[in-house]
Structure 1
Amino acid sequence: MNYYEILKVAPTATTEEIRLAYIALCKDLHPDKLGNLNENLRKLAEEQLKLVNQAYETLKDTELRTNYDQKISAKKTQDGRDMATKNKAASPTLDELLSTAILDEGFQIFVQEEEALWQNFTNELSQIRERYHIQESSNSSLNLFPDDLGMKLARIFSLILEGFIGIGLVVICFGLFAGVVAFIVAFAINVFLFPLGGLVVWLYFNIFLPFLVIAYFGIIIMGIFTDDELTDETRRKQEKTEAIFSQSIHRYWQQTEDLGANFRAYKFFADMYPTDYVNAVREVREKLSKQIKELIGHRKDKIKMFKDLSPTRLTCEYVSGLSACERLLLMKALQQKAEEAQQEQQNEEFASFLRAAGAVVLLGILFGGGGGF
């Protein structure tokens, strides 16, 4: 507290204003007015009166006041410099703002958010099983996709129909193309080497077309019998494209979105369930899928916004205003943008920003694997 604050006057106060303020304080701190106070308070008042007298003795004298003002001004300047230096030293860098610990915090929040959806979903499934007195299957997929008789027959007939339609279209398309080629080759051979022309036609109809049919149905059967196990490669791909992180949601998303998930072989041989039970499970499953899509859509919108963000705006101040989850999505956006820049060998503005940022950890995350993010 300086002398002006002690006398409760402004630094621009006149000598007369200082004198009047001094007189008022002396009256308030006079021993006669403080007679009813205890000893400790009286001592505090006496100390305050000493400061008031000291302040007045300095400020009433023009020369002493000028010297005092200069000291105050110099002290304020030094304090400002010290504060600026302290703030500058305390300002976090991009490395610190996008550290592994902060990104992991955002990752864990996302996982908890998704696990909450999954837990609510499994609770609803348990309630439905209790309502219809259905035992939980050891096959998790059957708990998610139970069949009644109509669905099972529809699935089998649909698979057969789609198989025939598919193979028919492939044979027609391949036959049109290969037939023209075979005709031209056979015609040329018949002109020059007549006996080989019949061999080419025979190979086409007896070898190539049967092989094509077998390959087509082989692909279908392989898709039907493919296991639902979630691999690390699949999980990383889903994290990159779908922005989901929970293992439970990963597995569920693979089962519901995988091509051929409705034609798994175990569904042909599994038990059939009451139609009402099947419909109830389907409703809660569709509800969860909708929630996941909304979650993914929101995160993808954030990633797109960060990708479209001008590199000049990506400052420490901007990043420090983001939550841990937003920083993780920012990291995803930077990774995608870096990959696009590498693939297309362009986007010099973004590359220049990365070089100028001097963020060693950031560059390591972008181009060195990302520490699991």
Structure 2
Amino acid sequence: MPKFDSIRQFYDSEVNSAIQNVANHPMMKALMSFTFPEVEESVWMEQLKRTHSIRDFQVNFIYQSIQRVLERSSDGLSTSGFEKLEPNTSYLFISNHRDIILDTSLLNVSLFDHGLVMTASAIGDNLVQKSFLLTLSKLNRNFLVRRGLSPRELLQSSKLMSEFIYHLLSKENRSVWIAQREGRTKDGNDATHQGVLKMLAMASDEKNLMDYFKKIKIVPVSISYEYDPTDALKMPQIMAEANDEIYIKEKNEDFITLISGIIGQKKRIHIHVGDVLDKEFDKITAENDNNNKQIQALAQVIDDSILSTYKLWPTNFIAYDLINNTDQFSNQYTEKEKQLFERRLEMRLGNEKEALRESFLAMYANPVVNKLKYQNVE
């Protein structure tokens, strides 16, 4: 549909031509050399040139790239909840957001491993300013979220994106991933922004808004990294906001963050997919008499799922104990793990350690604070 051309991923009929255009790009060669270090360039180049669909590109290349990332920069990926999902069924995954590329890539690896429909995924157009990155993102079934718009442009853009997401889910039987908020969570406090839900609702033609949300099968997703590979990079923005200053990104900051997220150490990673929301919508409708209150209640339902199922790591408990000067969770980590985390704190913050220490620790400690609201964490 031409109306979606400004934001959509490639159609399969466009894939081979797009690949031919970037096959010799230095960044493509670097990606392939990283992914297939023992394979001759002519071999993967030939396979690239025989690729005619997004699925083939994802399965034969991107999937392998992510496996290599996991091998080199993590202690492995674990998952839970995927067995509840049905094959050949599209879902709207609403997820907390830690890393620009990996959150969606790891979800798709997990969906593929479980024989489920992989996602089309939202990505900010600020992240794909370089033409190669734009092509690669469209080959990986990303669609564009336009940033920096005027209020009028934002309204039009939001409506188009809402209609496109519904088109993917209902007409193409394609699952969709979208973050619960614009941009990555910087302070470890995951919260669903109501604006995201209002955008999704724009495509609704249902009399009752909650009937529309029920129809698109929302699945909350929580993803947690033992070490956030971009933790130190988030500090300047957190400090600026704490001082009520306007934060202005450095040139190429998004690109540096993107690369750091991929190659930086993550240790263990866990993805949990929650239950498909269903009965919750009837309860929301019964208890709230207008759309704004219903959206607010839905945001809370999604938050409850993400925060209560978030996998906590020793780093989270260490940070909580350090920031609160306690040993409440000392049974959740070893002395060696604590020393390694404190060493990381010193190395990542350097001379800014005193100024940034609390913000750095809070990023790791807040998931514990949030989970304590739902259960006793032991």
- TM (norm. structure 2) is 0.23
Instruction: Give 1 or 2: higher helix fraction.
Output: 1
In the superposition, the TM-score normalised over structure 1's length comes to 0.23
